[in-house]
Chain A
Amino acid sequence: EAGVVQSPRYKIIEKKQPVAFWCNPISGHNTLYWYRQNLGQGPELLIRYENEEAVDDSQLPKDRFSAERLKGVDSTLKIQPAELGDSAVYLCASSFGITMAGTFGSGTRLTVV
């Protein structure tokens, strides 16, 4: 069984530029999470999807961040415009139902310069 696939693995952009991350969850997993992990910290939830519906986006900075999950499968997370403080690892996880302990992908390391 393929795991959670994320791309790109690394991304370096200049501040004020847009950036997008892509996540392909495990087949059949209806719950999808995006976490942000700052250097030296644990992951923090940005948004949670149940199928195609964003059911918890309270921690998503909506002025510059957006996310979508079309057809309840793949998801993209976008930042526009990026700021220096957005440098972090962005992790995607998925689960079947609400188990909290989803399966994580390997993340995208974003560096904003």
Chain B
Amino acid sequence: AQTVTQSQPEMSVQEAETVTLSCTYDTSENNYYLFWYKQPPSRQMILVIRQEAYKQQNATENRFSVNFQKAAKSFSLKISDSQLGDTAMYFCAMGSGYALNFGKGTSLLVTP
């Protein structure tokens, strides 16, 4: 069975600062993918960043980057230069088959 754990239900960061959201997972698969999704109040799940487990290099998308520690089964998301529009729920997810397993999410609030 695959499990995804997000241990931070809520986080807050000031605008322009950096914040890191934590995620750990468990799987017996060797080939899998990891994702971070953003869900604003509109409810649409928006893909932020993805990481292939076989790649050692950490993925980066503009202000978003990950710290992927395969041995520790850890996949944290770093948001640099936080903006008010980053306020949302953030979900960590993993998939090794044909669909995703999601964590419970972290609610991020960016304050002025």
Q: Could you tell me which A residues sit within 8 Å of B by CB distance?
A: 3, 31, 33, 40-45, 48, 55-56, 89, 91, 93, 98, 100-101, 103-107, 109
Task: Please name the residue on chain B nearest to A109 by beta carbon.
Answer: B43
A48 and B47 form a contact (CB under 8 A): no
A45 to B93, CA, bound (A): 12
B98 and A42 form a contact (CB under 8 A): no
A89 to B47, CA, bound (A): 18
| Chain B interfacial residues counted at CB < 8 A | 21
Task: Please name the residue on chain B nearest to A56 by beta carbon.
Answer: B98
Contact A101 to B99, CB < 8 A, known contacts A40-B104, A43-B45 = no
Contact A43 to B102, CB < 8 A, known contacts A100-B33, A101-B33, A106-B42 = yes
Contacts of B43 in A (CB 8 A): 89, 91, 106-107, 109
A42 and B105 form a contact (CB under 8 A): yes
Q: List 7 A-B contacts (CB under 8 A).
A: A42-B102, A43-B91, A43-B102, A100-B100, A106-B42, A106-B43, A109-B43
B44 and A55 form a contact (CB under 8 A): no
A76 to B41, CA, bound (A): 24
A107 to B45, CA, bound (A): 9
Interface centre among B44, B95, B99, B105 (most CB of A within 10 A): B99
Contacts of A101 in B (CB 8 A): 33, 35, 47, 50, 95, 100
